[in-house]
Amino acid sequence: MRWQGERESSNVEDRRGGGLPGGRTGVGLGTIVIAFVAAWFFGVDPRMVLGLLDEGGPAPVQTQQGPAPAPTDEMGRFVSVVLASTEDTWQQVFTQAGRQYRPPTLVLYSDRIGTACGLGAAAAGPFYCPGDQKLYIDLSFFELMRQRLGAGGDFAYAYVVAHEVGHHVQNLLGTMRQVQSARERAGERQANALSVRLELQADCYAGVWASRSQQARRWLEQGDIEEGIGAAAAVGDDRLQKQMQGVVVPESFTHGSSAQRVHWFRTGMESGQPASCDTFSAP
């Protein structure tokens, strides 16, 4: 991606301990992988896993008191540029629909951080909190993607940011609230199925961003699209379950299979239209 020189978002808070992704303490990459897998597949609170594995005591919990600076390192500036492009994309979409888009804030942190949704842990991967309308990312997750999942590259990382912004869009449109209400009334299998459709729609919205940002900036280079598709495939429930536990249990899926995630990312990317992302009506 030719992202250097593009506008950086002003809605980024750099709350990393040392200001650099490498300056983390308390939790190593191996620990992150174990806790990440536990959280993803088995419904285990990653904080419990971290508490068991972190013999040196719990890592410090960061708070969000006071203003935070904008990132100055390369990866921090990169995600700031990606966030800015999502702001442009969704502002255009919402304006065309006669609505107002309120951009989310992206918080960069290390280890753990307090949020309106409770304690956020790097082990759980990037996440969106509807309570404070913020995206939270520990940038070490991108290294995990590259090393453990074989999904590296600028556009792969941009897909992650765009997916989380997709959840923000769902929150603004009321989709997230409707799904949560339905999940509370459903059994476990139905609740998981609803979660899958919510995640696949966020993948499709990420594809919409990819399409529209490319039209506006022409910043994608050869191989970038493949990186994004590869990232969507790498985080499919079936592939991760096969890698980590040797068997695939479809009824336990919460994010969708690799094929589903790739399909919906492609759907959004090829259409460039949010209307194409109705995963809840699809078979």
User: Tens digits of per-residue pLDDT, 44-55?
Assistant: 444 444 444 343
70, pLDDT greater than 60: yes
Rg of the chain taking only CA atoms, in angstroms: 18
101, pLDDT greater than 60: yes
pLDDT for res 48: 40
User: Tens digits of per-residue pLDDT, 106-141?
Assistant: 999 998 899 998 888 877 788 999 999 999 999 988
Residue with tokens 């429930």: 237
Tell me which of 148 and 205 has the higher pLDDT. Answer: 205
Tell me which of 176 and 26 has the higher pLDDT. Answer: 176
Mean pLDDT in residue range 9-13: 96
Q: Give the best-scoring range by mean pLDDT among 16-25, 37-46, 243-252.
A: 243-252
- How is the chain split into domains, by residue range? 12-277
pLDDT for res 221: 87
